[in-house]
Chains A and B, each alone.
Chain A
């Protein structure tokens, strides 16, 4: 496999690699503003006429151990022995997310499918349902990774492109096929639980109304304080919410807030918040968030093995919440992952509104929030191919 990283900036335009004609797949991540209009896509298409071009808007681009806000981070991948297929589906409405996931799954399904990387609209999709839809078709054997597109801290509109001009309300999946391809994955948070456990006394789907009979929004506003409460829903990410079924406390999930309704005193999350489940606030510490990211990187590296042929790539999908909290310390977690990958595995990625990865315990592909989710892609050395 060959990997060439490149970027685009307002000032300098594309800093493209010298040779790109044999690239099979291009990933690109940029601000909504940079991607809107389609110029960048057309430019990429011109540069990589035969490649699948897949990307989305973000809450910040990851380019090795740097995080940037204005430019576009991209990578062109060329495979020696791997077949690719890209599928996309419109994400009509949040309550159709499962059907959308099932359609993607059906499009990509094949006996030699090894892994799927998904990019989804970040605001109009119930990520839990989407992940459940895809895995209901493909099963636990095929790891599904990826994330939900972002829109900085604005939460207004997200864009996804898959061999087309990036647009809203789209879900795209890239399927990797064949015996050579190796896909690793890892996901970790590193958040610290704090405060009392609360009971979700009123919720509907991914809309949370009450904890212990008190409006959930009241609690968040109180914890954020007057100033930061103005920044809701974005500032809500500073206190991620860990939820679990009281019957299965090991199987916990962290949820990201997507929207609030000050009238209804409700909060909308990127996945379900079932009534009667237990919830607990979390808070982050730079060092431990970075340590979490490192843990995710380790899992992903382990997944692709040592006997690799050519280049490898790590695609990092990290939650916008982590970046909001860490500010200029965000690079700490990228340095931490980078240290795990070493010089042979470059990292590309974005800050997202949700991460998709198999659950570390159940193995079932799920939506995660507030995590660092890492997907490693490599082709095995010829001797190691099955």
Chain B
């Protein structure tokens, strides 16, 4: 019987020297072997169970890790997708064309706008196409600068320098593209293509606007000065003379105020067009602001003759009636002319002299031109001297008031006295207001002078009989520059004259200029108890609508009608009509310039309520006034 090698070994171990088996020893060995085997089995079982447990745990841990990593990867993928979507959306919604090329000049990506700009099909902008093929497609589609044959090579050369650049390309179709090229690290580049046509046009527009008048499109003052400098340079180099015309529209202000700024603006545009039509292309027509224009014209031998011819053309052009929105508008222009080099060899001098000539033209009745003369400079100097004298006159108390009575036609008693200013010049004697009031209005001295007149008249009148009113003229300029209400109120307070004894005479110009504000002021003055008188009715526009605009207390009929009364039926009927209108509106009517008893009879017959004129005495200082009744006798009025 085969024996297990372990048992054989055990038997050998348990054998006594005699060869006999020590049974006790054998059993011990066998028992130990069993124990060892049992321990080994148990150990094996245990270790395998533990190992399985550990491996399961490990496996579980790995599963978890895999799940976590998978979730993480998925999240990253989502995030990446979202990012890509955002990136795509951003790229696709760019107003610019964007393209990205790799180091081999092959397209990586571009947006739809890029294709649109250059008229490229999706196939032509597939990732992988070369820059060269795109450039050639652009040229084929007609989107290239002027020289297509060198364009492709030029761009390729530029791109290969690896330097960033910005270029603007005017395309053959008139558009302008800007390319902003930025190389990327590791080769390739990103470029942004933008259609900057609108921007370029705006820039051109801005440049134009900086040099032109926005309303008329004419050159502006700075361009005129620049052109004059250029003309002066030509004059110095080649002796080429030139002429400058300074224009100022007559009556424009009235159009603007009565018909509104939009009509005024339209008028300026048409004026501009007419000025251009009167000049040559080489001439410069500029608008200097408001209703002032200037023309720079090159000249030849017959400089003065040509200048006069041009001036006449301009006068004729502007005095031709304008038809704007059905409004027939009549204006004119005054023109000052300087001839270079005769009247000056620098811009400043020429402009100054042209202004002087213009001033002269305006002062001498509108719708005319004047060529500069050296005496104009002297006149200007005189005017400046007068200005300073006028200013001193106020402080030196050189003004005096003369009073001219206004008589009630029925009672023949003095109803009121018109205050008239005189300048008692220390050297030149008494000066008429016709001479210095325009200067005062021009310089603004009219305000302190007017205030002085009002205060003096009210102060004088305060000493007169209570039934005699004082009448003071208020110029349109005074309305424009300060508020007459506060002024009048403070003067009345100071002098103690009741407002009912004050009459303020205004001309229709007050209503024409800023009419609403002025009408409001007049209402307030009238509410104070002051009488408001419309002066010089019958001259100017003399629209009856003025009478509707404001409830005047009196209307003064201009002396020209009264003078013609006996000889001219037309005048007589006008006087009658005005008087009749006054009656029906319960407005008093004053006939000015009554010098004869005949005239008095006639105006009484016409229905005028009051009369003023030499028949009742000349204007005189306050001290010489007497307020007795006038008696009509032998065609002479005597003071009773």
Contact = CB atoms under 8 A, between A and B. Distances in A.
- Do the two chains bind? yes
Interface in A182-236: 194-196, 222-225, 228
Interface stretch (A135-143, A325-333, A374-382): A325-333
6 contacts: A194-B51, A195-B47, A196-B54, A224-B43, A283-B44, A329-B6
A328 B33 contact: yes
Contacts of B197: none
Contact of B29 (A224, A283, A325, A328): A328
B47 A196 contact: no
B40 A223 contact: no
Interface in A271-288: 281, 283
Contacts of B43: 224-225, 228, 238, 283
A353 interface: no
A228 B36 CA distance: 12
Interface in B385-421: none
A222 B36 CA distance: 19
Contacts of B48: 194
A225 B42 contact: yes
Contacts of B29: 328
Given A194-B51, A195-B51, A228-B39, A327 B46 contact: no
Nearest to B59: A196
Contacts of A239: 47
Contacts of B585: none
A223 B50 contact: yes
A331 B9 contact: yes
B75 to A, nearest CB: 28
Interface in B1-55: 5-6, 9-10, 29, 32-33, 36-37, 39-40, 42-44, 46-48, 50-51, 54-55
B32 A327 contact: yes
B544 interface: no
Contact of B55 (A196, A228, A332): A196
B36 A328 contact: yes
A283 B47 CA distance: 9
B430 interface: no
Nearest to A239: B47
B58 interface: yes
Given A223-B47, A228-B43, A327 B36 contact: yes
B332 to A, nearest CB: 107
Nearest to A286: B40
Contact of B54 (A195, A224, A238, A331): A195
Given A328-B6, A328-B32, A225 B46 contact: yes
A327 B10 CA distance: 12
Best-buried of B10, B32, B46 by chain A (most CB within 10 Å)? B46
A328 B10 contact: yes
Given A194-B47, A283-B47, A325 B9 contact: no
A313 B42 CA distance: 39
A195 B6 contact: no
B54 A325 contact: no
Nearest to B6: A328
Interface in B358-409: none
Contacts of A238: 43
Given A222-B50, A327-B36, 6 more contacts: A194-B51, A195-B50, A196-B54, A196-B55, A328-B6, A335-B5
- Chain A: number of interface residues, binned into ranges: 10 to 19
A328 B9 contact: yes
Interface string A312-343: 00000000000001011101100100000000
B40 A325 contact: yes
Contacts of A281: 47
A11 to B, nearest CB: 10
A13 to B, nearest CB: 15
Contacts of B9: 328, 331
Contacts of B47: 194-195, 223, 239, 281, 283
A327 B33 contact: yes
B39 to A, nearest CB: 7
A59 to B, nearest CB: 16
Contacts of A224: 43
Nearest to A238: B43
Nearest to B30: A328
A222 B47 CA distance: 9
Contacts of B46: 223, 225
The 6 closest A-B pairs by CB, nearest first: A327-B36, A195-B51, A328-B33, A196-B58, A225-B46, A223-B47
Interface in A154-208: 194-196
Best-buried of B29, B47, B54 by chain A (most CB within 10 Å)? B47
Given A223-B50, A228-B39, A331-B9, A195 B33 contact: no
B414 to A, nearest CB: 128
Best-buried of A223, A224, A328 by chain B (most CB within 10 Å)? A328
Contacts of A331: 9
Nearest to A12: B17
Contacts of A327: 32-33, 36-37, 40
Interface string B313-331: 0000000000000000000
Contacts of B44: 283
Given A228-B39, A331-B9, A195 B55 contact: yes
Contacts of B55: 195-196
A215 B58 CA distance: 17
Contacts of A328: 6, 9-10, 29, 32-33, 36
Contacts of A335: 5
A199 to B, nearest CB: 12
Contacts of A332: 5
A335 B40 CA distance: 21
A342 to B, nearest CB: 19
Interface in A233-288: 238-239, 281, 283
B46 to A, nearest CB: 5
A346 B9 CA distance: 19
A128 B6 CA distance: 36
Contacts of B6: 328-329
A335 B9 CA distance: 11
Interface in A67-107: none
Interface in B47-77: 47-48, 50-51, 54-55, 58
A325 B42 CA distance: 12
Contacts of B40: 325, 327
A17 B437 CA distance: 165
Contacts of A228: 39, 43
A331 B8 CA distance: 12
Contacts of B39: 228
Nearest to A328: B33
Nearest to A197: B58
A329 B4 CA distance: 12
Best-buried of B10, B37, B39 by chain A (most CB within 10 Å)? B39
A238 B29 CA distance: 21
Contacts of A329: 6, 36
A224 B33 CA distance: 19
Nearest to A329: B6
B309 to A, nearest CB: 108
A335 to B, nearest CB: 8
Contacts of A325: 40
A328 B29 CA distance: 8
A224 B48 CA distance: 11
Nearest to A65: B9
A208 to B, nearest CB: 18
A328 B47 CA distance: 21
Contacts of A223: 46-47, 50
A194 B5 CA distance: 29
A224 B45 CA distance: 11
A332 B9 CA distance: 10
A327 B30 CA distance: 12
Contacts of B51: 194-196
A32 to B, nearest CB: 22
B442 to A, nearest CB: 104
B438 to A, nearest CB: 110
